[in-house]
Amino acid sequence: MKGQKIPDEHHVARYCKPSQCQDGEIQATAFLLRMNEESLSVNWMEFLNCPNRESEIAQLRSIYSAKFTHVSARAKIAVLNVGDVRKKVFAESQDRRDLKFLHDPEVDDPSHSMVYNLKPDFELIAELILQTAPENYPART
């Protein structure tokens, strides 16, 4: 349901373009907002209702293949625990930033969600988010 808060124990995935990866490692730039963006696009993994992580990643790959013109072999999928990100950013940002993870489904992407409250200082926030992203997968097999 649009606007539904994603629980802290759940996970979101972020598509990371090859330009956001260096030597196969995801960089903080993957979590930066583009010009005129107010929120960060992610996918709610538990919403996919898959039996395991492998199935979730396979489903995300299908979604990305349908949504994007080209999914590079060097692109990555970063998996983040919502609660870990929220706690880290709240504890380590100067203004004790409270990020909001909300469901924002699209016609071709029902698990699509957004992360809000990244501005100002979104460069610092991007670095903190990266520190909570130990799990990643190739975006294409």
46-87: per-residue pLDDT in tens?
999 999 999 999 999 999 999 998 899 899 999 999 999 999
| pLDDT recorded at residue 54 | 96
User: Does 2 fall in a domain?
Assistant: no
Q: What is the pLDDT of residues 2-13, one digit of tens each?
A: 899 999 999 999
Report the domain count for the chain.
Answer: 1
**Is residue 3 included in any domain, yes or no?**
no
Please give the C-alpha separations between residue 120 and each of 5, 39, 52, 55, 100, in angstroms, as whole numbers: 22, 12, 36, 36, 14
- Which pLDDT belongs to residue 35? 83
Q: Alpha helix locations (H) across the chain?
A: 53-67, 82-92, 122-131
* Residue 39 within a domain: yes
DSSP 59: H
Whether 102 is covered by a domain: the verdict is yes
Domain assignment of residue 94, given as a range: 11-138
- Examine residue 4 and state whether it is found in any structural domain, yes or no: no
